[in-house]
Amino acid sequence: MSIVFDDVSKKYNDYVALNQVSFNIDPNEFVSIVGPSGAGKTTLLRMLLAEDKPTSGKIFLNSIDIHALSNKDIIRRTIGVVFQDFRLLPQKNVYENIAFAMEAAGRTDEEIESDVPHVLDLVDLGNKIWNFPNELSGGEKQRVAIARAIVNQPDIIIADEPTGNLDPVNTYDIVQIFKKINDLGTTVVLTTHNKGVIDSIGRRVITVQNGCIVRDDLTGKYIL
């Protein structure tokens, strides 16, 4: 699934969060969006998830203008999302958190029963299936969030600072999971300001500063 940002700007009153941003992401790419805090990385992802509308410009997913759609659920079901603060549903256990994403996508009970344990094995959490989020470590929570994001086999995974709350060991593990997901054919768009993460991914890096793209290269290096 291709992503196109076409001259996208976003203003919050007088504050310009994004200023005429344009770029393309091809299917199966792994793109890291980097920049300091407040650069506009999260705004960019929020608009890709149709959480927020651009003030001007358009965003296309496979040539579909996502903000022109009245029903955004359909688009969201083709995107897996991972947040820095995990955002698991606290009243649901690990199984139910992942099953919820499948239920939302209209999957059958049989599919849910077979796919949830499988995807938990992929993130190495098969033994925590009935635990609640408050019984998991930060790294485990993020693995559950990744499992939830990939369970519907989305075309795109969007990860907003997914390692921001993790220690170096868990950070490394999570990055490896994302690389594995990308190797299986899923487009990954990840924001971070962790230089180590970018260096270990070593793929395309888009650098955002003050709401503008200041660098877009394939060196896989975090340069500010």
Partner 1 sequence: MEKTPFKTKLKRVLKAGFFNFWRSSYVSFASIIVMIITLSVIGSVIFLSTILNITMEELRDKVDVNVYFVNTALEEDIISLKTKIEALPEVKLVQYTNREEALENFRLQHENDQITLQALDELGENPLGAALNIKAKEPSQYEGIANFLNEENILSSEGEKIIDKINYFENKEAIDRLSKIIDSAERLSWVISLTLVTISIIMTFNTTRLAIYISREEISVMQLVGASKNYVRGPFVVTGVIVGLFSGLLTIFIFLPICYWLGNTTQDFFIGLNIFDYYLDNFFQILLIIISAGIAIGALSSYLAVRRYLKL
64: contact with partner 1 by CB under 8 A: no
Specify the residue, 131 or 209, whose C-beta has the smaller distance to partner 1.
131
124: contact with partner 1 by CB under 8 A: no
**Positions in 29-58 near partner 1 (CB under 8 A):** 49-51
CB of 222 to partner 1, least distance (A): 27
What's the chain's length in residues? 224
81: contact with partner 1 by CB under 8 A: yes
C-beta of residue 110 within 8 angstroms of C-beta of residue 118:
no
Alpha-carbon distance values, 130 to 26, 83, 97, 98, 141 (Å): 38, 22, 10, 11, 13
Alpha-carbon distance values, 121 to 79, 125, 129 (Å): 21, 6, 10
104: contact with partner 1 by CB under 8 A: yes
Among 11, 58, 67, 107, which residue interacts with partner 1 (rule: CB under 8 A)?
107
Interface size with partner 1, residues (CB under 8 A): 28
Among 38, 72, 217, 224, which residue interacts with partner 1 (rule: CB under 8 A)?
72
186: contact with partner 1 by CB under 8 A: no
135: contact with partner 1 by CB under 8 A: no
Instruction: Tell me which residues touch partner 1 (CB under 8 A).
Output: 49-51, 71-74, 76-77, 81, 87-92, 96, 100-101, 103-109, 148, 152
